[in-house]
Amino acid sequence: MKKKKYFVYFMLFIVVFGCNKEVVISDLIEPEAFWEELTPMPTPRYNAGICVYNDEIYVIGGTIDSGSGAVATVAVEVYNVKTNTWSTKSNLSSPRTHPSVCTFDNKIYVIGGAPNESVNPLPTVEVYDPSTDIWTKKQNMPVARMNTCSVPYEGKIYTIGGQISDGINNVEVYDPVNDTWESKNNMPTARAHFVACEVNGLIYAIGGATYAGTKNVVEIYNPITNSWDSGVDMIKGRTSISGCVIGDKIIIVGGSYDPGSNLTSSVESYDTKNDTWVSLPKLSKSRVALVSASIGNKIYAIGGSIVEWPFSPTGRVEAYEYIEE
């Protein structure tokens, strides 16, 4: 991959310096050239949930129409990265959008959300068994919420922040073995539409928004000490973002600089070891309310909306091969 990139730079050197006209290299190499367009998702949607299981990407629920009260879907669709194809699995028990999704112990957990594109949070917890293609209901969350993040760590699932009417900072932990919930220390900054990921035993909560505006904060939760710390802020605050982990890096993809407007194609990497941010090649189009996942060193950006509110669902799928310099 690197050899190809260097060959392109060499050819550009010949073309640029072999002519009399002044040319800016950055004008010739568009960042979106690094993102590869793949087979679209069969059901276009935004505000879905996503997870990876057995090197396949599961996209669950989401909104399939435009405007307030827009219809949510029960659809569960699975992307095979090796064949670039989609398949379907058993539907959710009822339509759900704005859920959080994670994998734990060979099962997929779908937590919270809303029945349609409205502020009507659900406490619902469902678990999917890929080996049987069956959904099972579990103990509801104590605090119903949507636009939350759920992160598995050491036998528990940490559900952080989200939205009731506005953004909240509640942290609740689910024990899948005993089917019980308990509360932990609240996140310092209330917010929804953010990203949370676990890296090396710490949970990082990044970006998001309340009705007051977008957040650029990075807050770090230690499950062992039940305490919060701060990291270096994002380059610029944004909301309705997506994120995934590659090694020690958290990759933040797309979103918007203002709730519902000012969409962005920006992709940024947060180095959890050095507490630093760098920009990566942009998406081919600005996208909000999308989902993303990583398999190996590839980042997959799926669905969302390419227009401002009222959002319009897209099935667009793009992939970027992340290589550290």
pLDDT tens-digit profile of 194-219?
999 999 999 999 999 999 999 999 99
Whether the CB-CB separation of 117 and 47 falls below 8 Å is answered with: yes
Percent of the chain with pLDDT over 90: 89
pLDDT over 60 at 79, yes or no: yes
d(CA 198, CA 221): 9
Provide the pLDDT confidence category of residue 324 given band limits of 50, 70 and 90: confident
Q: What is the pLDDT of residues 98-153, one digit of tens each?
A: 999 999 999 999 999 999 999 999 999 999 999 999 999 999 999 999 999 999 99
Six token digits for residue 75? 């659809």
Which 8-state DSSP code applies to residue 142?
Answer: S
Six token digits for residue 316? 């667009």
Provide the pLDDT confidence category of residue 26 given band limits of 50, 70 and 90: very low
Cβ neighbours for 269, distance < 8 A, ≥ 6 positions apart: 249, 250, 251, 252, 277, 278, 279, 280, 322
* Confidence at residue 114, expressed as pLDDT on a 0 to 100 scale: 98
* Confidence at residue 12, expressed as pLDDT on a 0 to 100 scale: 35
Report, as an integer, the average pLDDT of 291-318. Answer: 98
Percent of the chain with pLDDT over 70: 90
* Confidence at residue 99, expressed as pLDDT on a 0 to 100 scale: 98
Element (H, E) at 16: helix 2-17
Provide the pLDDT confidence category of residue 302 given band limits of 50, 70 and 90: very high
Report, as an integer, the average pLDDT of 309-313. Answer: 98
**pTM attached to this predicted model:** 0.91
* Confidence at residue 325, expressed as pLDDT on a 0 to 100 scale: 65
Average pLDDT, the chain: 92
Strand-by-strand arrangement of the 180-184 sheet: 149-153, 156-163, 167-175, 180-184
Report, as an integer, the average pLDDT of 248-262. Answer: 98
CA distances from 300 to 39, 58, 255 (A): 12, 12, 15
- Position 79: which residue type? Y
d(CA 104, CA 81): 21
d(CA 184, CA 27): 50
Q: What is the pLDDT of residues 262-278, one digit of tens each?
A: 999 999 999 999 999 99
* Confidence at residue 145, expressed as pLDDT on a 0 to 100 scale: 98
Residue 33 or residue 108, greater confidence: 108
Residue 6 or residue 173, greater confidence: 173
Q: What is the pLDDT of residues 237-252, one digit of tens each?
A: 999 999 999 999 999 9
Provide the pLDDT confidence category of residue 191 given band limits of 50, 70 and 90: very high
Closest CA to 212 of 239, 186, 243: 239
* Confidence at residue 33, expressed as pLDDT on a 0 to 100 scale: 54
Residue 298: helix, strand or coil by DSSP?
A: strand
Domain ranges of the chain: 1-33, 38-321
Among 13-17, 253-257, 302-306, which stretch is predicted with the lowest mean pLDDT?
Answer: 13-17
Six token digits for residue 97? 């959008």
Find out if CATH 3.40.190.10 is the number for domain 38-321.
no
pLDDT over 90 at 193, yes or no: yes
Report, as an integer, the average pLDDT of 217-237. Answer: 98
